[in-house]
A and B are shown apart, each in its own frame.
Chain A
Amino acid sequence: MAGLATLWGHGLRATGRRALECGVPGLSRALHLHSGTPLLPPRSALPPFSLPTLGRVIQTSSGPNTGRSCSTDASGGASEGDVRQELLRASMTHVGKLGFTMEAIHAAGRELGFSSAVANVFERKEAELIEHFLEDCRSKMNQELEERSEEIASMKIREKIATAVRVRLKLMAPHVEAWPRAVYVMSQPPNVASSLYHLHLLVDDMWHVAGDKSTDLNWYSKRMLLAGVYTSSELFMVQDSSRDFEETWHFVDRQISRVLKLGKAGSDLLNFFASRGAPSPGKGTRV
């Protein structure tokens, strides 16, 4: 559960930041310290996602300077951060043939003039390659949606969401054959928290594009429902053999309609109670 709390924590901070950007005056004042420094860091400054230890006997430490350090080597070698980025980039060219596997990273390593053993710089093995792909797709999606922002602004919210989902799924199309194995890897216990985090980032961005500004419980329900729509569409796409994934786009539309019906049923229920006057708890049922 601690992991989930962390996930939502990231999301809340991100939303808070957006509220600041949108210029909510009260919130803006409340979230600024007297000195004028913002309480909420920009998303780029958020700490990298890390698994809570949960009392594991086996602990991992990579120290403060291993992550993305770019210090140059006295003996002329490359820095670890650069090598990681190069490896990830090169590995993606082998994914088409070898899938999201260690073999793809081995091949990339050899291509760059390293020993295959260099693939071990990824402590969580191929999961880190898959995460790189997820991040890459997300930024490409954001970029494309940004370019089409005028077109999107004229759409209804439902259309906006459907467009975002479609854009993101199209990015996956080249690697759809390799995707079942990636899903398998990312659903392994050590990677579950991280894959949920990436899913959260994705649906959060989609709602951002759709112009969502909710700060109440809707914030959670919207993201959860969209996460459901997105993952089920993704799994549908993996099995879709129709031309240009025609069936998948229909499936996305059907899923969104279903979710909207669910949301409508919820608000209908609330309206029903509201129209009859809020029932006071226990009234008429006391024995």
Chain B
Amino acid sequence: MLAGRTRAGGVLAGVAGSLVRAADARLPSLWAARLLSTEAEEATPVGSRDPRRPGPKADDEEVGDSVSFGFSSVDRSEHKGLVKDVFEKVAPKYDAMNDFMSFFLHRHWKDRFVGITLHPFAGQKHLDVAGGTGDVGFRVLREIRRAEEALAVRRNAEVESAGEVCICDINGAMLEEGKKKVAGLDIRDAERGLSWVESDAESLPFDDESFDTYTISFGIRNVSDIDACLSEARRVLKRGGHFCCLEFSQVNNEVLRQVYDLYSMNVIPYIGQAYAGDAHSYQYLVESIRKFPDQEHFKEIIEANGFRGVRYENLLDGVVAIHSGFKL
């Protein structure tokens, strides 16, 4: 156990080191960020560090113009590049890693997210932000096509493939992984229904009110400015549009939380190392989960950005939470 902790500590120190290296742009604020991260590193040994965010974080989120990157904080302008870096590295093995890390559960989470929360309908225009490898986007398109077929049967008419899914990601490497999968899909008119856009979630290249629904799954915690992302989501949605977010959250069950923390902090980086050859990126992913606001707090953030009827649903006692809201 002790050995495990020291090794985990080593990994952390490594992450901090690489951060500082990555952030070596000789800006005063970055030096401050480096100071902050090293202080935190010394003050709390890894084992005793409480990974939970204690309530709404006002103090450690917006120090000057820095945002949290894992457990350390970096300059806002640097954050985007660092996150992009992480996902560029993991892109080729991203889907397989998700299966390994979640014991295939992420497939069920996504199925429920799309089938029950989003409940696609015929002719729907959907935007999947941070859609990367298309996991959620393909599911949405499949459901839309299914609804269109059912509609055609009822009307006794030709099936009309009017629904469209736009998959948007800041990271070109992830989109490339997704495009590779299109050929193997068993969805009618998949090519025609899908479009791929490389864009930042904080400034989307779409007109106002151009989509019926918006999803962001396992992506919003990596966005530098959550408020900007949400207000963009609200802008591109039609009136009555549905915003859905699938994201890791706070585990409510004490026992499950202990097990989950042990697993994610100690096992996942090693799986990442062994399979994808990259422990640091997965260390970041795990840490960013801990830094993300809990269910209630995130719900308040969504409401503050003008969404109505905001509610959330916990899956597996809060390992993952589905938030949803409407533009009314």
Contact = CB atoms under 8 A, between A and B. Distances in A.
B308 A62 contact: no
23 contacts: A57-B316, A58-B314, A59-B313, A61-B295, A61-B314, A63-B310, A66-B310, A77-B328, A79-B308, A80-B328, A83-B309, A106-B121, A112-B240, A113-B240, A114-B238, A114-B328, A116-B123, A116-B212, A116-B240, A117-B121, A118-B328, A120-B324, A120-B326
Nearest to A109: B240
A78 B240 CA distance: 10
A134 B311 CA distance: 25
Contacts of A155: none
Q: Which of B119, B241, B308, B310 has the most CB of A within 10 A?
A: B308
A231 interface: no
A121 interface: yes
B239 A114 contact: yes
A115 B118 CA distance: 13
B interface, over-half SS: strand
Contact of A123 (B151, B237, B295, B311): B311
Interface in B132-166: 151
B301 interface: no
B204 interface: no
A76 to B, nearest CB: 9
A108 to B, nearest CB: 11
Contact of A60 (B308, B313, B326): B313
Query: In the complex, which range does the number of interface residues on chain B fall in?
Result: 20 to 34
Contact of B317 (A57, A60, A73, A79): A57
Contacts of A57: 315-317
A117 B316 contact: no
A117 B312 contact: no
A79 B326 contact: no
Contacts of B309: 66, 80, 83, 121
Interface in A83-126: 83, 102-103, 106, 109, 112-121, 123, 125
Interface string B284-328: 000000000001100100000010111111111100000010111
